[in-house]
Chains A and B, each alone.
Chain A
Amino acid sequence: MTSLYSCQHISHSYQQGAQTFPALHDVNLEIKAGEFCLIMGPSGSGKSTLLNLLGLIEPLQKGRIFFHGQDLQAIDEARKNQLRRFQLGFIFQSFHLFDVLTAAENVEFFLTRQGVPTAERRTRVQQALEAVDLWQHREKRPQDMSGGQRQRVAIARALAKQPAVILADEPTASLDQDTARSILVLLKNLCDQGRTIIVSSHDPLARTYASRVLNLKDGHLQAGGQADAH
């Protein structure tokens, strides 16, 4: 497998008034294409910060991140937008769906913004919703769906973009055990189809599906980090 991400000496902290809160400390990391990489750790360990840095939604303070060998510090905001639009797909704990759009329209929205032609867009929307088993609910709006269904719409939305990487921040945190398991199975299937999946979670269930687990504690990446499961 080729290297997708290469992180070198990443440190990050948050400023609140006069106080500084360190979030990551000298993290070095390689993530290969096609991995199901699980970032674990207790609350405040820096999981989300690391995920946000990999997803280019948190400005890098210290260190370097290479994506496909490209130094992310060296590219401008327009190029970062391009990467976010075409290469990265996000799944958030709180779904972030557009309340005013149906499930199908939510999935279609970012495809429109990618400039995907109408016919292909419709095909991709159908494929993505079928992949998450929600095609029959395509006309429903988020408020008419359960938490699990909403998260699956969010996954379908990320999937339809056909990104190189899907980054998921606590995707099962607000779901019951059965729904959480189905979401993780879905992510595992996507990984098996060749996508790189990076998930931050403190849900022990997620370990079962990850090909690699990274443990963070107080902003430090713990030794090891190889697959400890399937």
Chain B
Amino acid sequence: MLIKIAFLNLLRNYRRSLVGLLTVGFGVTALFLFDGFNKGVMRQYKDNTIHAKYGHGQVNTKGYREQIFEKPWEHWIEQPQTLIQELAQVPGVSHVFPRIEFPAILQAAELNVAGRGLAVDGHVEADFFNTMNIVEGQTLRDEPNGIILGHGLARALAVKPGGRVTLLTNTVHGSLNGADFTLVGIFQTGLKELDDSHFRIQRGAAAPLLDTDRIESVALGLHRDEDWPTVSQMIRNKHPELDLTSFAELDKVYYQHAVDWLGQQFIVIQWIIILIVALGIGNTMAFTVLERTTEIGHLRANGESARDVLVLLLWEGTLIGLIGSILGILLGWLLNITLLKEGILMPPAPGLTRQFFVKIELQPLMLVVSCLLGTVTAALATGLAASGRVRMPIAAALRYR
């Protein structure tokens, strides 16, 4: 009966109830969508990091990343073919990418620019590293003397796909060496620092240029993002002489900081939304309670305790919260499959130079959390608005006009 009365009371002043429902509903929609948006942004950052640069993680010799060596190549991985084959057999690993990073001077016509190269197995990497965003030409795949340049670097050298680029670098023995390459494509990662200096060539072309068979690192691609801890532990157990670093650590400044920053921002916005919902509901319920002071007096005159009456009003607040939350979730879901279906076009994020689409990824857990937050907030706000009124002297409540 108490719940029935609470429900019917909502219909009594339906305009006011509607305001309450809309307040909770929009608040919950905002919470639900914002969390989905946040997850979408994080997914973009993650995919960008994994599929443009590092894979899911990287293998180096022990201590290689922490220390600075005069001759780093002496600490590169020897006889890499055996390790590459072994790593490819580890459960969960889908791709193995041997790599060498080296500095070089790039020449095109009369222009010289310093750059940082990555020697890769193009045919292996081409499909996995699919978010490199080739803006001109194509990605490096099977061209033995092909080179791809960052957008800024290509502009500095004033070259277009098909053009010739000469690389000058030192071999691991210290002598100067050089080779000619044909530009096959220009990439734009969105990271200015990378786009202004990085290039990629085939590992087969880098080996004679650097005069070594060793590799600096092995990047790993996994079937599932969440398998990295298990896979890395398995490799570590078998090869204690190797270090394994996840993409999040490799790209701490770009990825991990962005994730942490967005996470904190979400918490702040979440609290702001909750506060707005609480104030809105508190205001609505304060009016409702004030208007029904004589009814409260009447209930108390017939033996209802202040607590009983508060429970009745809390039911009303809870119903507004629950119904509003469900409507809010439905609205969020509806918006996501209609207006926001293609995602939201975002301006370049800090450190990025290109726009990107963020798909809103609605999470089942957030559905429950948003509903709970909307309902609990509405109930608490009602409790605060009503607690004083239900305790006023009965006769005074009955006299209230």
Residue numbers in A under 8 Å from B298 (CB-CB) = 90, 92, 96
Report how far A89 CA is from B298 CA in the complex, Å.
11
User: Would you call B300 an interface residue if the criterion is a C-beta within 8 Å of the partner chain's C-beta atoms?
Assistant: yes
Complex contacts, A94 vs chain B, CB 8 Å: 294
| A99 nearest in chain B by CB position | B12
Q: Across the interface, which residues of A come within 8 angstroms of B394, CB to CB?
A: 52, 57-58
Query: Contact at B305–A100, with CB atoms within 8 Å?
Result: no
Residues of the B chain whose Cβ atoms lie less than 8 Å from the Cβ of A112: 1
Q: Mark B290-304, 1 if CB is under 8 A from A, else 0.
A: 000011011011111
Report how many residues on chain B are interfacial, defined by Cβ distance under 8 Å. 21
CB-defined contacts of B1 to chain A, threshold 8 Å: 105, 108-109, 112-113
Q: Is the CB of A96 within 8 A of B295?
A: yes
**Contact code string A92-104 (vs B, CB < 8 Å = 1, else 0):** 1010101111000
Q: Does A75 contact B (CB under 8 A)?
A: no
Task: Identify which of A52, A78, A85 contacts B395 (C-beta below 8 A).
Answer: A52
Most buried by A among B12, B294, B297, B305: B305
**Contacts A92-B298, A110-B302; A100 near B398 (Cβ below 8 A):** no
Stretch at the interface among B3-11, B127-135, B140-148: B3-11
Interface residues of chain B: helix, strand, loop or mixed (majority):
helix
Q: Does B162 count as interface, using CB distance less than 8 angstroms? A: no
Q: A77-B305, A85-B303, A113-B303 known; A100 and B393 CB under 8 Å?
A: no
Task: State whether A100 touches B9 (Cβ < 8 A).
Answer: yes
A66 at interface, CB cutoff 8 A? no
Tell me if B303 and A110 are in contact (CB < 8 A). Answer: yes
In the bound complex, what is the Cα–Cα distance between A57 and B301 (angstroms)?
6
Q: B301 to A58, Cβ gap below 8 A?
A: no
Q: Which of chain A's residues 43-66 have a Cβ closer than 8 Å to chain B?
A: 52, 55, 57-59
Residues 71-96 (chain A) with a chain B CB within 8 angstroms:
77-78, 81-86, 88-90, 92, 94, 96
Inter-chain contact A57/B303, CB cutoff 8 Å: no
Nearest-neighbour CB distance to chain B for A62, whole angstroms, equals 16
Cα A182 to Cα B304 in complex, Å, equals 30
Pick from B12, B303, B304: contact of A100, CB below 8 A: B12
Taking a contact as CB atoms under 8 Å apart, the answer to whether B395 and A100 are in contact is: no
A196 CA to B295 CA in the complex, in Å?
25
Known contacts A57-B395, A58-B393, A58-B394; is-contact A100 B301 (Cβ 8 Å): no
The one of B5, B11, B301 that contacts A109, using a Cβ cutoff of 8 Å: B5
A98 touching B5, Cβ below 8 Å = yes
**Given the complex, which residues of A lie within 8 Å of B398, measured CB to CB?**
57, 92, 96
How distant is the Cα of A69 from the Cα of B143 in the complex, in angstroms? 108
Interface residues of B (CB under 8 A from A): 1, 5, 8-9, 11-12, 294-295, 297-298, 300-305, 308, 393-395, 398
Binding site for B on A (CB under 8 A): 52, 55, 57-59, 77-78, 81-86, 88-90, 92, 94, 96, 98-101, 105, 108-110, 112-114, 161
Offer 6 A-B interface pairs, CB within 8 angstroms, sorted by A.
A85-B302, A90-B298, A96-B294, A105-B1, A109-B5, A113-B1
